Structure 1
Amino acid sequence: MTTNLTSPLPAADVESLTHRLHEDGIIGLPGAFPREWVARLGEDIDTAFAEARARPDGAVGRGPNRFYVEIHPEQLRGFADLAGHPWITAVAEAVLGPDYRIVEVGFDVPLAGAVDQPWHRDFPMPEETARHRRLNSLAVNVTAVDTEADMGPFEIAPGTHWDDGTAFDHGMFPPREAYPRYRELAVRKFPRMGDISIRSALTVHRGTANHSAKSRPVLVLGLDAPGAGNDERHDTAVTREFWASLPDSVRAHLHCPIVDTLTPITQKHTIEGLVMGDS
């Protein structure tokens, strides 16, 4: 597959990627962006992270020394490049339909000393997926650094997006007696700057212990099929000036308030934080 930020993805590639996504719950797409673009992304994440940690409820804990921050799209200089990347748009349209929506922009930051998270999903399985085996949301991840083995790499158990989650605590956290299966299935991911992944957030996963002195920031772009409802968990907004600067192809998928002045986002996910903090 050839990296090109403007060319549409060939139909055969789209079919192959969506098949793998359906089977594994995650696909990797190497070299989606130049390293220079990712370096700017890392700068924007660092700025937003410092601002969020300086105010109450600006960042939510996801376990010791591990944080999540939701941000507004215009806090990223490369938002339009990301939201309009042909690999992302092609897979999103194939899986979620042509009217998919951008509902979340945020990032995870495992700092030095972060511990193994419990295995989890990001939210309970929706009825549509449980009944009809249809995915109605996707998460795009973009690493801001080259991931090394001691930095607490992301670990995921392919195929577990279809697991029955009725016994999961809060619909998200499987019982500990299920952990041996997830450990057996688990694959650790070592993306480099420029790589992206697209996954179902239902695929059981965890962040692992960061034994290095470095952080491992990862951007998250959340996408929904119409009616999926994950927008209710997020507070995305844009200013009128930023909205006017976006291409029509991006605005078509960004259904959020258009405001004169942005309000800093107060983080949610309190149950998740409590459970992960107890890990």
Structure 2
Amino acid sequence: MSASYDAAEIMGALYGPGLTGLKGALPREWAGKLREDIERLYASALQREGGAIGYGPKRHYAEIHPEEIRGFVEGRRVNSLAFNVTTVDVEADMGAFEIAPGTQWDDAETFEYGMFPPKSLYDRYEARA
């Protein structure tokens, strides 16, 4: 990684809106290894009951632990931080990638699979997106 980043700016983004983008933070070589790992882990998840949650034709949520991906364990210690890494080509006609800033502090214990908020909260999320 050749770029330098302002730690205070990153912390402000994580504690504020709850997200940040760091272009160039991960080397291209790591992205190739990520693809290999995701393909292997996705295939494994499809074979386990509850391993992949369907949300459309050939579309799933699959929980993957950082320890299962090369490059995370070898890196700096990270606690309770999520990476949303797009592992497919994204085109405008696929729809928007929506983020609801500030919702990282929501108590997700009542969410389906710990990820999907109940419909009663949709208006709140839509207003923040």
8 Å CA contact 1:58–1:69 kept in 2: the answer is no
**Which structure: greater helix fraction?**
2
Which one of the candidate residues 42, 47, 60 is aligned to 2:52?
60
TM norm structure 1: 0.36
The gaps in structure 2 that reach 5 residues or longer are: none
Deviations 1:67-101 (A, max 9, x none): 3143572x4343445x33xxxx5xx5xxxxxxxx5
Q: Distance in 2 between the 1:16 and 1:154 partners?
A: 23
Q: Which residue of 2 aligns with 1:25?
A: 18
Q: Which residue of 2 aligns with 1:170?
A: 110
AA of the residue aligned to 1:148: E
**Which structure: greater strand fraction?**
1
Q: Which residue of 2 aligns with 1:199?
A: none
TM norm structure 2: 0.67
Q: Which residue of 1 aligns with 2:104?
A: 161
1:180 deviation in Å? 3.2
**Alignment of 1:48 onto 2:46:** no
AA of the residue aligned to 2:123: P
The gaps in structure 1 that reach 5 residues or longer are: 93-100, 102-136, 187-279
Q: Once the two structures are aligned, what percentage of the paired residues are identical? A: 39
Q: Which residue of 2 aligns with 1:144?
A: 87
8 Å CA contact 1:39–1:144 kept in 2: the answer is no
Q: 1:15 to 1:43 in 2, by over 3 A?
A: same
Tell me the C-alpha RMSD between the 2 structures.
3.3
1:42 deviation in Å? 0.6
8 Å CA contact 2:52–2:63 kept in 1: the answer is yes
Q: 1:162 to 1:145 in 2, by over 3 A?
A: same
8 Å CA contact 2:45–2:52 kept in 1: the answer is no
1:175 deviation in Å? 4.0
Q: 1:69 to 1:139 in 2, by over 3 A?
A: closer
Q: 1:180 to 1:52 in 2, by over 3 A?
A: closer
Please identify the structure whose Cα radius of gyration is greater. 1
Q: Distance in 1 between the 2:128 and 2:63 partners?
A: 29
Deviates more, 1:16-25 or 1:143-152: 143-152
8 Å CA contact 1:25–1:160 kept in 2: the answer is yes
1:24 deviation in Å? 0.2
* Residue correspondence of structure 1 range 229-248 to structure 2 within 5 A: none
Q: Which residue of 2 aligns with 1:38?
A: 31
Alignment size in residue pairs:
123
8 Å CA contact 1:169–1:175 kept in 2: the answer is no
Q: Distance in 1 between the 2:109 and 2:69 partners?
A: 34
**Greater relative contact order (Cα 8 A, min sep 6): structure 1 or 2?**
1
AA of the residue aligned to 1:51: S
SS in 2 for 1:138: coil
